[in-house]
Structure 1
Amino acid sequence: MHIVTTIAGSDSGGGAGIQADLKTFQELNVFGTSVITALTAQNTLGVSDVLPIDTIFIEKQFHALLEDFSISALKTGMLFSSEIIQAIANIMADLDIPLIIDPVMIAKGGESLLQQQAIEAMRYYLLPLATVITPNIPEAEVLTGKKVDDIASIQQAAQTLLQLGTRCVVIKGGHLTDENFATDYVFFKDGRAFSMQTTRIATKNTHGTGCTFSAALAAFIGRELPIDSAVVEAKKFIQLAITHDLSIGNGHGPTNHFAYRKYKDSCEVTIHELS
């Protein structure tokens, strides 16, 4: 049995964070474990409060898992503060486990989920340990300090992030202006690069898409798929989750974590090699 760990915040609304990650792990036949970094009071309308967990207790959660389980992949989501980031990085530095980083910064409703001083800590301490990082366009802009709005700037941002030490960067293109397609861009340290394109779905129910995509990626990597294959399958997972949404709540509703199991043979991802 493959065991995968999520290190992230709790979403009381169930659409993102720890809850989305564990649902995704279950759907992809890996055993999910967790280290909770913060509690949130939220629903589809937004986040009303955040309560960070004491850093020492976060470390205890992490050590408890490592003492008992053979973990095949880890992912991080909401880490909130520089202290939490450094604590996770200090433990990860001694591990040889694939690490997928979703650099969660802003909730769907616009609320900040990462303190400003934590951004530099993420760059300096955590990103060099990553196997894959999965920023969306705004997150890539914050991490690189550069405007990202076309393929040239996406490539430049990816190179900047690769230079920090990660093996692979997936820049998610959902914030780009293409009305017909949702295109993500994948770059490897060895120079390979490709794009993944799917039909854009007109829906407001996209809460937890970043969490769910990175959780699926962690699950597939934990099951020992090559990174490029894992990225494509994770793209299918989130595309189907958005396509067959659940229409829950009155705001930005969650995606459908059950959809991949039922519809995975119907999803096509168009791959283009990038020069």
Structure 2
Amino acid sequence: MKTNYMLTIAGSDVLSGGGLQADLATFHHFHLFGFLALTSIATLSNNGFEITSIDEVVFQKQLDSLKAVDFSAIKIGLLPNESIAERTLTFLKAKKEIPVILDPVLVFKENNDEEISTMREVLLSFFPYTTVITPNLKEAELLSGVNITNLTDMKKAAKILYEAGARIVVIKGGSRLDKTRAIDLFYDGEHYVDLQKPLLSMNNTGAGCTFASTLSSYIAKGESPLLATRHAKEFVYQAIANANEYGVLQQDEKN
């Protein structure tokens, strides 16, 4: 590990269950110093969560402020629009030697086909500049075009995403494939490795963000992507087991 400096480019969760709050809490748990470029702010109303994008000029100023920092890894979370995504990609291209973990949070799932298609193409353009991508099942479906109903479908989607330029694909299966076990899939172009844990009934808000930021932390510390994925799976399992009503919780290390 060159430094203990980590960067998350992510949105804010007003309830602190996920987003940048989960990322920074995870980095702190692993004794890493977290930097932030804020992409959006989530607020809660009677209509549910609403996403407000950060002004593009302000967002660019954040990235410019971080140009000289020697990060050991960069984690990408919610990118609310095409402009912020493209500015992020330009920033990454100038830091090609740094591991990048892309957690492609899509906020356009309920919107029109044009928005979905645009963000899909933008996110696919990130793949050659990433070390690991960590889509959930829905995001993997949107990005790959595969309707995922079983582990075989997950493998098919992972292969398509790998062939689209991702070096390593980790699909977070969640509870959709099996009501008793949470199944994730790791693929590096040669080997498929499925990782399973018993499904917990506790609140799992923020689990996806915490998984990706944990994986990022272990890669920053020099672990292989597969071992980092295994550690992230275990860490998130324990975080869900200790969740409160707002989201998963990072427990103090016992050492």
When normalised by structure 1's length, the TM-score is 0.84
| Structure 1 residue 55, shift from structure 2 partner | 2.1
Q: Could you tell me which residue of structure 1 aligns to residue 127 of structure 2?
A: 127
- Residues 2 and 72, structure 1, Cα contact 8 Å, conserved in 2: yes
Indicate which of 21, 24, 36 corresponds to 2:23. Answer: 21
Indicate which of 227, 233, 242 corresponds to 2:231. Answer: 233
- Residues 101 and 132, structure 2, Cα contact 8 Å, conserved in 1: yes
d(CA) in 1 for partners of 2:163, 2:61? 32
Q: Could you tell me which residue of structure 2 aligns to residue 257 of structure 1?
A: 250
| Structure 1 residue 98, shift from structure 2 partner | 0.6
d(CA) in 2 for partners of 1:88, 1:106? 17
Alignment of 1:33-182 (within 5 A): 33-42=35-44, 46-47=48-49, 49-67=50-68, 69-95=69-95, 96-106=97-107, 115-116=115-116, 117-123=118-124, 125-182=125-182
State, as a whole percentage, how many aligned pairs show the same letter.
32
d(CA) in 1 for partners of 2:36, 2:110? 23
Partner-residue secondary structure (3-state), 2:243 = coil
d(CA) in 1 for partners of 2:52, 2:107? 16
Amino acid at match of 1:51: T
- Residues 80 and 107, structure 2, Cα contact 8 Å, conserved in 1: no
| Structure 1 residue 128, shift from structure 2 partner | 2.2
d(CA) in 2 for partners of 1:58, 1:188? 33
The two structures, once aligned, show a CA RMSD in angstroms of 2.2
| Structure 1 residue 106, shift from structure 2 partner | 4.7
d(CA) in 1 for partners of 2:100, 2:41? 22
d(CA) in 2 for partners of 1:142, 1:245? 29
d(CA) in 2 for partners of 1:206, 1:135? 16
Partner-residue secondary structure (3-state), 1:4 = strand
Q: What do residues 247-269 of structure 1 show as CA deviations (whole Å, max 9, x unaligned)?
A: x3xxxx3011226x25xx9xxxx
List 4+ stretches of structure 1 deviating above 6 A. Answer: none
| Structure 1 residue 225, shift from structure 2 partner | 1.1
| Structure 1 residue 132, shift from structure 2 partner | 0.5
Partner-residue secondary structure (3-state), 2:222 = coil
d(CA) in 1 for partners of 2:132, 2:177? 25
| Structure 1 residue 161, shift from structure 2 partner | 0.4
| Structure 1 residue 42, shift from structure 2 partner | 3.2
d(CA) in 2 for partners of 1:136, 1:106? 13
- Residues 175 and 199, structure 2, Cα contact 8 Å, conserved in 1: no
| Structure 1 residue 111, shift from structure 2 partner | 7.0
- Residues 30 and 223, structure 1, Cα contact 8 Å, conserved in 2: no
Q: Could you tell me which residue of structure 2 aligns to residue 269 of structure 1?
A: none
When normalised by structure 2's length, the TM-score is 0.91
